Chain A
Amino acid sequence: KAGVTQTPRYLIKTRGQQVTLSCSPISGHRSVSWYQQTPGQGLQFLFEYFSETQRNKGNFPGRFSGRQFSNSRSEMNVSTLELGDSALYLCASSLSWATRRGYTFGSGTRLTVV
């Protein structure tokens, strides 16, 4: 069974640009969550989607947005990139948004903003 797939694995963008990251959950999983990992802040919750609806949102500015498609694949978008957006972006999927055992994470997309 394939795991959570995130593309691309690595990305370099210039400050002010926008970026779109993609996540394909495990087959049958309908909930997708996004986390940002930085050395100073650890893993911080961005948002969670279930059945194409955003169920929960973290404390990030409006430049960070996401969506989920009918096949459960999800994308997150960051507009007007800042240097501080450089991080590892992790996607995680679970069977339902009410899971209590946590998620299965992908390997992440390493975004570098220069």
Chain B
Amino acid sequence: DQQVKQNSPSLSVQEGRISILNCDYTNSMFDYFLWYKKYPAEGPTFLISISSIKDKNEDGRFTVFLNKSAKHLSLHIVPSQPGDSAVYFCAASEARGSGGSNYKLTFGKGTLLTVNP
């Protein structure tokens, strides 16, 4: 049972245009969401995150939108650049445990973004 789903395995966009990567989740206990970017032969790198108390978070060219009622989040990259070509992972965490929390991350399968010059 996949709790975080990225239904588009790949996305191709022209340089300068907007890239929109989507992510759906099923676990209503998730309260923190993250996007990671991964280049081949490297580990994922943290990109941007959002808490469930917000519906938008912006960092430069990257904006994440959260729609809790739809259990959907999206990552917008504007403008897209060839260097943005990578696999993007959506991840979610929930507070659990006693005396604090164990924030393991549940990842989607990733979307390969290709930005064409």
Contact = CB atoms under 8 A, between A and B. Distances in A.
Which size bracket describes the interface of A in this complex? Answer: 20 to 34
A90 B100 contact: no
Interface stretch (A13-21, A69-77, A78-86, A103-111): A103-111
Interface in B19-74: 32, 34, 36, 41-46, 49, 51
A2 interface: no
Which size bracket describes the interface of B in this complex? Answer: 20 to 34
Given A4-B43, A90-B43, A105-B45, A97 B32 contact: no
A41 B103 CA distance: 20
B52 to A, nearest CB: 11
Contacts of B44: 43, 90, 105
Interface in A1-53: 4, 33, 35, 40-45, 48
B73 to A, nearest CB: 15
A100 B42 contact: no
A60 to B, nearest CB: 13
A105 B89 contact: no
B34 A102 contact: yes
Contacts of A103: 46, 105
B67 to A, nearest CB: 20
Contact of B34 (A48, A101, A108): A101
Interface in B58-117: 89, 91, 93, 97, 100-110
A101 B108 contact: no
B46 to A, nearest CB: 5
Contacts of B106: 45
Given A45-B107, A100-B32, A102-B36, 17 more contacts: A42-B89, A42-B108, A43-B89, A45-B104, A45-B105, A48-B102, A56-B97, A56-B102, A97-B103, A98-B100, A99-B103, A102-B49, A102-B105, A103-B105, A105-B45, A107-B42, A107-B43
Interface of B: 32, 34, 36, 41-46, 49, 51, 89, 91, 93, 97, 100-110
5 contacts: A42-B107, A43-B107, A45-B107, A98-B101, A108-B43
